[in-house]
Amino acid sequence: MEKEILVTEFDLERLESLLDMCWGCSSFDEKNLESLQKKISNCIVVPPEFIPNNIITMNSTFTVENEVTKEKKTYTLVFPEDADIRGNKISILAPIGIAILGHKVGESIEWIAPSGLKKMEFIEIHYQPETCGQFKL
């Protein structure tokens, strides 16, 4: 069974709208849409002002460490229209983006990339909109 994650009311609302908009669009992988749908259907929903500051929400910027290579990278979790791999902005509709949502500093995740199974640990959150009082970013 997958771990229950925390998601803000506002993020959940936007993610549900995103899924509604994407179903049937050929530009989106249905497997990823199904994975995100499953993840948010099992989440714990909290008001944005009550989300802990160590949880990755939409538009959060964080550093991860690859558990194999020990390489550290900083990313931002974004909606598809803002995704930019060169700018280290990961789409919520990418397998890694789906895996990231709702996890916290100190936790590790696994996901399947085209090159195989990847594992990383969340080291630090540099920016979380809700911590800064930006509840509708």
Task: Please check the confidence at residue 137 and state whether its pLDDT lies above 70.
Answer: no
Domains of the chain: 6-132 (3.10.50.30)
Q: Where are the beta strands (DSSP E) in 51-115?
A: 61-66, 72-78, 89-91, 108-113
Tens digits of residue pLDDT in 46-88: 999 999 999 999 999 999 999 889 999 999 999 999 999 999 9
**Assigned token pair, 107:** 């936790």
pTM attached to this predicted model: 0.91
Task: Please check the confidence at residue 26 and state whether its pLDDT lies above 80.
Answer: no
DSSP 2-51: PPP-EEEHHHHHHHHHHHHHHTT-TTS-HHHHHHHHHHHHTPEEE-GGGS
What Cα–Cα distance (Å) separates residue 136 from each residue in 81, 108, 114, 129? 17, 27, 33, 8
Which helix (H) or strand (E) segment holds residue 64: the answer is strand 61-66
**Assigned token pair, 49:** 């002002």
Helix, strand, coil share (%) of the chain residues, nearest 5: 35, 30, 35
